[in-house]
Structure 1
């Protein structure tokens, strides 16, 4: 019995890894549970033994990024108000680069994400982070600009290989700051 647990864990990890690759390459909607099973070298029944459906597989694929987002929101909210926006911008840019391979997957399901209860926390944390990036006492326009900036950043991160991680991180942080932080008067003014 002791050997079956590691085998189960390996099978589960293989299913998640193969699903991530298929979702990223073919899209969530174009990938079936049978596709995942075939890629993982197991039966569809085995996939369903580990997960109660394709949305649960997606939840496992997005799990690490979802946890990182939750931690970022908690860290930013714990900061003094004048430091929250910068922490949210830097943290979001870092997460977008770190998890850039999953962005295409996330954007593939974005329109129906709020219909999947597995992602209620992810949606709530995404909204909260967008509010933090908009800044303290943001008005409706500033919130809309933050949403625009997030979508642009995610779109840019969908293209792996076009920029190094360092180049992409610099681009994302710079663009977000220019869009979301108030212009500072030139020094000496």
Structure 2
């Protein structure tokens, strides 16, 4: 008996997101995704060229949001850059916590994928904004720790409601960057 072809991309994307969150991107095969959907690997390939195409589509909204954040932060300097970067990055991280969770442990390797190439540059500019555009070593180290910590917290506290997680992350990030709580 032939397996049904999934009706939409959405079924495959949802199954892929579940599998990636359990076994990681590298640890998930197209066959795993097909099994989760209840179809053949060929049916998955009918909708997507490969596993990387699935990940690219899953991540597209988060990447677009990071691009928009980068554009908002570009003209800001000093404390204005830092303050906006903290609140806007936390909002983005909470909104896309599932995607962050998917990538958290595999991000360095995934940044090698062509679709994710712009993330590295935008992340560097985000770190610069979180540093208040300062060149001081302590001001440059703290933002890296904050970004890693926000990603880890989003992964660890994924079930916490947005209205609890977001303010807590803003408070902690602000303290970690050496500024009073807003």
TM-score, normalised with respect to structure 1: 0.82
State the match for 1:83 in structure 2. Answer: 80
Q: 2:12 & 2:121 partners in 1: Cα distance?
A: 27
CA RMSD of aligned residues (A): 2.4
Contact 2:6 2:37 in 1 (8 A): no
**1:38 aligned residue (35, 40, 55):** 35
Q: 1:80 & 1:115 partners in 2: Cα distance?
A: 30
Report how far residue 82 of structure 1 moved. Answer: 4.6
Give CA deviations for 1:145-185 in whole Å, capped at 9, x if unaligned.
1101111111111124563221211111011111224469x
Contact 1:28 1:108 in 2 (8 A): no
1:9–1:84: structure 2 CA closer, same or farther, 3 Å change rule?
farther
Q: 1:57 & 1:45 partners in 2: Cα distance?
A: 14
The answer to which structure has the higher helix fraction is: 1
State the match for 2:62 in structure 1. Answer: 65
**2:160 aligned residue (153, 159, 163):** 163
Contact 2:97 2:158 in 1 (8 A): no
**1:55 aligned residue (10, 29, 52):** 52
TM-score, normalised with respect to structure 2: 0.85
Q: 2:92 & 2:48 partners in 1: Cα distance?
A: 26
1:108 is the counterpart of 2:114? no
1:160–1:137: structure 2 CA closer, same or farther, 3 Å change rule?
closer
Report how far residue 120 of structure 1 moved. Answer: 0.2
1:171–1:146: structure 2 CA closer, same or farther, 3 Å change rule?
same
Give CA deviations for 1:84-111 in whole Å, capped at 9, x if unaligned.
2211110111111111122221113213
Structure 1 unmatched ranges of 5 or more: 1-7, 185-189
Structure 2 unmatched ranges of 5 or more: none
Alignment of 1:141-156 (within 5 A): 141-156=138-153
Q: 1:159 & 1:55 partners in 2: Cα distance?
A: 25
Q: 1:174 & 1:83 partners in 2: Cα distance?
A: 16
Q: 1:58 & 1:115 partners in 2: Cα distance?
A: 13
Q: 1:9 & 1:134 partners in 2: Cα distance?
A: 46
